[in-house]
Homo-oligomer: A and B are copies of this chain.
Amino acid sequence: MTDTIPPRRPLTLRDVSEAAGVSEMTVSRVLRNRGDVSAATRERVLEKAREMGYVPNKIAGALASSRVNLVAVVIPSISNMVFPDVMGGISSALEDTPLQPVVGLTSYKPEKEEQVLYEMLSWRPSGMIVAGLEHTEASRAMLAVSGVPVIEIMDTDGEPVDCCVGISHRSAAQDMADAIVDAGYRRIGFVGTALGMDHRARKRFEGFVAQLGKRGLELEDREFYEGGSGMAKGRELTEVLLKRSPDLDFIYYSNDIVGAGGMLYCIEKGYDIPNKLGLAGFNGVDILGGQPMRLATIDSCRAEIGKLAAGLVLSRMDTSKASELVKLSPKLDRGDTMREPL
C-alpha cells in the first residue's frame, strides 16, 4: 500500500508507467487490451493503475487516434415524452458496443439547433442522430460535409441529408382522418399545439385537414395552445371547444397527453363516447394506461426509431455506405374512444 496523495494534476500515462516500471506504450496497451502483453506485466500495470486511481484522458486519446466513441443525439426537448423513448431505443442498441450516446437540446429553435450541431460536430463524434428534417441552411451544410454518419429521425416527410428513420406524420394523420370519416363522424374539431415550432405536429395537422378535404369535409372548429403539453391543457381547451361548438362529434388531439385531459373532461361531463363523440390522440404513450378508457391513437414507434437509428450509426462506423431511408408504418389503434368503420 503506497501512500497516495490526491493529485492536484490529473494522473497521466507516464505516472502509471513510472510506477509500474514499464513504458508508457505498454501501459497504453494494457489499458486498451491491445497487442500482446505478458500476463505478468499486464497484472502489474492494472494493479498500479487501479491503485493510483488513474483515469485515462480520452481527449488526448481521441486526438491521437482520431476515434471518438460518442454518438451525438440532438433533440428538441427532453420533457416531450416522445424523446425519452427514442433515447431508450438508442441506449439499448448501443449497450454492449463501445459507443455512448450524448444528448444535446435545441428547445425547438433552429438557431439553437445550429449551435448545438456545431458544438457536437466539433467533438468529432462517430455519428449524429438528429430529430427532424427541418434545419437551417448552415446546419444542413455542416451535417452534409461533416464526414460522419448523419441519421435524421422521427419524420420521413422531407429531404434527408443522409439517412432517415421515422414515420410519415402526414400519412399518420391522413389514416386517422380516413378512419374518422369511415366511422361516420362528420363534425370534426381539433385541439393541438400552435403551429410553427413543432414541424411534426404541423404536418399532422396539415395532413389531417387535407385528407378531410379529400373526403369532402372541413374542420369544424379548432383550438391551439402554446407551450408544453399537459392534461390540464387538454381539459381546458376541450371545454372551450365544446362550449363554442357543441355539435362536434369528434375531436382530434395533437398528442395523447392533451387528448387524455380532454377525454377525462368528456367522461366527467357524461358525453357518450364513442357513439356521440369520438376522440383520438397521437403517439401511443403508455404511461397513460390507467385511464378509464383507452384513447384512440397511432403509435409513433419511438423506441424502434431510436434502435434503428443507432443501428445505422453502428453499421457505418468505419465504412462509408449509401444513404438509407427507413419508413415505419404504425397502425391505428381505436382504443375505446372511436367507433369501428360503418
Residues on B with C-beta less than 8 A from A232 are: 286, 289-290
Q: Does A326 contact B (CB under 8 A)?
A: no
- State the oligomeric state as a number of copies: 2
Size of the A side of the interface (Cβ < 8 Å), in residues, is: 64
* Chain B residue nearest to A78 in the complex (CB): B84
Q: Does A127 contact B (CB under 8 A)?
A: no
A38: min CB distance to chain B, Å: 25
Q: Does A63 contact B (CB under 8 A)?
A: yes
Q: Does A194 contact B (CB under 8 A)?
A: no
A320 to B335: give the CA distance in the assembly, Å. Answer: 58
* Chain B residue nearest to A5 in the complex (CB): B145
Q: Tell me the A residues contacting B by CB distance below 8 Å.
A: 6-10, 53, 55-60, 62-63, 68, 78-79, 83-85, 87-88, 91, 100-105, 116, 118-119, 121-124, 141-142, 144-147, 228-236, 257, 260-261, 264-265, 268, 286-292
Closest 9 CB pairs of A and B: A231-B290, A232-B289, A261-B290, A235-B290, A79-B84, A58-B122, A232-B290, A78-B84, A103-B103
A85 to B123: give the CA distance in the assembly, Å. Answer: 26
Residues on B with C-beta less than 8 A from A7 are: 145, 147
B105 touches A102 (CB 8 A): no
B104 touches A231 (CB 8 A): no
Residues on B with C-beta less than 8 A from A291 are: 231, 264
Residues on B with C-beta less than 8 A from A100 are: 104, 116, 119
Apart from A102-B102, A228-B287, A230-B287, what 6 extra A-B contacts exist at CB < 8 Å?
A55-B146, A58-B119, A59-B63, A91-B105, A100-B104, A231-B290
B290 touches A233 (CB 8 A): yes
